[in-house]
Amino acid sequence: MRRFIMPNRSRFVALTLGVVLSMGTSTLVLAQARQVPEARQQITLSFAPVVQKTAPSVVNVYGARVERRPQNPFMDDPFFRRFFGDGGFGLPREQVQRSLGSGVIVDASGLVVTNNHVIEGMTEVKVALADKREYEATILLRDPRTDLAVLKLKGAKDLAAIEVGDSDTLQIGDLVLAIGNPFGVGQTVTQGIISALARTQVGVGDAQSFIQTDAAINPGNSGGALVDMQGRLTGINTAIFSKSGGSVGIGFAIPSAMVRVVVDSARTGASNVRRAWFGARLQALTQDVADGLGLDRPAGSVVASVVDSGPAAEAGLKRSDVILAVDGIGVDDPESFGYRFATRPIGGTTQLTVLRGGKRITIPVKLTPAPETRPREPVKVAGRSPFTGLTVLNLSPAVAEELSIDLSTEGVVVGDIEEGSPAARVGFQKGDLILAINGERINASREIELATRERKRSWEVTISRGGQTVTSVFGG
């Protein structure tokens, strides 16, 4: 049988009074936390000062390209021209392709940074400032590797340039603003936080280490500014993850550390971005290898091969070394290593933390640009062959670095492909290494010009793409 003990009256009163007092204390604390605003400053907190400081530096970028339609073959016949005129059944002979995006003024003299994909293929570029002034722009530099481009506004001076901040100081949770021209509606500001850092599997460019934010980014925001609460540029808005095409709170920006490298190259008048060359091929660290090395997680990059006489070889790096950090900052994969190494200034050294034989060691590596040990000698293939429209280059460390290809393979590399050409239609890609044509080894760009001079019924070509060698046969 269960027994219950009734408290006496004095104990019951004391217990009840204690409960009431404790409830009164908590209620009093809550009341003190919810105070009526006593000053205007407490009810007018706003991001407006940051917007006023930065919005004049964000611009709209308009690109245009005139494409000529192929003439209808019937227009060669005077009979058809008599009835349909020279227009070709009412269809215009020229078609204008347009693009729209955003950009950021980074120098008062009129330097604007935007995304490469905003102006890619465009022959005319105009920029509209926040105060409605418009300027024609020349393209100083394109960098597909980072999806960045730098423009120069013609006749511009004393513009409102933004301060470029240090993206390496960002932390997850920091407040940020995204400014741009979404959907072409006009300059728009959205607010959010830094959701993640060092995102490498985004699929935009190959020097990846993106800032992720939940500040709304939509089509047209590309090239716009991601700014911190001090009004400094921390990134260039570039991409979104979306199934609908609109913002779902997952946007990506190129860190300002990489933006600074590209802008500095443009200031020197260089046609390509000057980056430090490492001279080694890296692979991701798998869980099995990490377990065998005694690491608690698969974070790092394994040295797969080292280029003779390159900076990595001169520093003493060896195959199977595991790179864990660059200047004390951890690198989880080859992409994050590439970003960290590429943002280091040329001329000095960087300190790599390397795991070798179970021990951690520090190896200094010189920061030098890739040499052009062999003149590139560009050749654009003409005539009638599947190679027509290709621009091919001699391979060198500098060319391999620019195109992000492996230097260990010899051959001639595809540097560019004319849109709509026979080469584009058969499937050639930029960065393909052409090793042989009809069984003849190709060692120089001029040799392709000679090999394709004569017309043939079929063409057998051996190429290397992404480390794999493939032989294909095309019709003549």
Task: Please report the DSSP string for 163-178 in residue order.
Answer: EE--GGG--TT-EEEE
First to last CA, the chain: 102
pLDDT at position 12 is: 37
52: left (phi over 0), alpha (psi -120 to 50) or beta: alpha
Tell me the residue type at 289. V
Residue that wins the pLDDT comparison between 93 and 199: 199
Strands 232-240 and 163-164: parallel
Residue 285 CA to residue 179 CA, distance in Å, equals 37
Domain coordinates in residue numbering, the chain: 52-153, 163-267, 280-366, 379-475
pLDDT band at 470 (very low <50, low <70, confident <90, very high): confident
| 401-454 per-position pLDDT tens digit | 888 787 766 778 999 898 888 888 888 888 899 988 888 898 888 988 888 877
pLDDT band at 205 (very low <50, low <70, confident <90, very high): low
pLDDT at position 10 is: 43
pLDDT at position 194 is: 93
Provide the 8-state DSSP code for 71: P
**Which CATH fold would you assign to the domain 163-267?**
Thrombin, subunit H (2.40.10)
Residue 128 CA to residue 121 CA, distance in Å, equals 20
CATH of domain 52-153: 2.40.10.10
Element at 50 (helix H, strand E):
helix 48-54
Residue 461 CA to residue 463 CA, distance in Å, equals 6
Count of alpha carbons within 13 angstroms of residue 18, beta-carbon side: 6
Q: Would the CATH topology of 280-366 be identical to that of 379-475?
A: yes
pLDDT at position 25 is: 47
Place of tokens 């190959």: 206
Residue 381 CA to residue 453 CA, distance in Å, equals 9
**Which CATH fold would you assign to the domain 379-475?**
Pdz3 Domain (2.30.42)
Provide the 8-state DSSP code for 160: -
Count of alpha carbons within 13 angstroms of residue 122, beta-carbon side: 25
pLDDT at position 403 is: 83
| Partners of 112 in the β-ladder | 105, 151
Count of alpha carbons within 13 angstroms of residue 15, beta-carbon side: 7
pLDDT band at 228 (very low <50, low <70, confident <90, very high): very high
**Which CATH fold would you assign to the domain 280-366?**
Pdz3 Domain (2.30.42)
With H, G, I as helix, E, B as strand and everything else as coil, classify residue 392: strand
Beta carbons of 320 and 303 less than 8 angstroms apart: yes
Q: Is the pLDDT of residue 59 over 50?
A: yes
pLDDT at position 129 is: 93
Residue 337 CA to residue 340 CA, distance in Å, equals 5
DSSP 258-292: HHHHHHHHHHTT-SS---B---EEEEEPPHHHHHH
Beta carbons of 172 and 192 less than 8 angstroms apart: no
Tell me the residue type at 251. G
Note if 472 is an active site residue: no
**Catalytic-labelled residue, pool 57, 102, 117, 336:** 117
Q: Give the CA angle between residues 264, 265, 268 to the nearest 5°.
A: 90
**Catalytic-labelled residue, pool 57, 167, 222, 336:** 222
pLDDT band at 2 (very low <50, low <70, confident <90, very high): very low
pLDDT at position 26 is: 46
Element at 323 (helix H, strand E):
strand 322-326
**Catalytic-labelled residue, pool 147, 228, 333, 432:** 147
Beta carbons of 402 and 394 less than 8 angstroms apart: no
Note if 117 is an active site residue: yes
Residue that wins the pLDDT comparison between 2 and 261: 261
Beta carbons of 26 and 32 less than 8 angstroms apart: no
What percent of the chain clears pLDDT 70, i.e. is strictly above it? 82
pLDDT band at 161 (very low <50, low <70, confident <90, very high): very high
Note the Cα 386 to chain centre separation in Å: 32
Residue 266 CA to residue 371 CA, distance in Å, equals 19
Residue 472 CA to residue 429 CA, distance in Å, equals 14
Packed helices 256-267 and 334-342: angle between N→C axes, nearest 10 degrees? 40
| 274-293 per-position pLDDT tens digit | 889 999 989 888 888 888 88
Beta carbons of 329 and 339 less than 8 angstroms apart: no
Q: List C-alpha distances in Å: 26 to 18, 37, 133, 150, 453.
A: 13, 22, 59, 59, 91
3-state helix, strand, coil in the chain (%, to 5): 25, 35, 40
Beta carbons of 368 and 346 less than 8 angstroms apart: yes
Of 23-32, 53-62, 104-113, 428-437, least confident by mean pLDDT is 23-32
Note the Cα 349 to chain centre separation in Å: 25
* Residue in 105, 16, 28 with CA at minimum distance from that of residue 59: 105
* Residue in 50, 106, 41 with CA at minimum distance from that of residue 229: 50
Q: Give 301's contacts (C-beta < 8 A, 6+ positions apart).
A: 282, 283, 284, 285, 322, 323, 331, 333, 334, 337
429, 211, 121, 468: CA torsion to nearest 10: 0
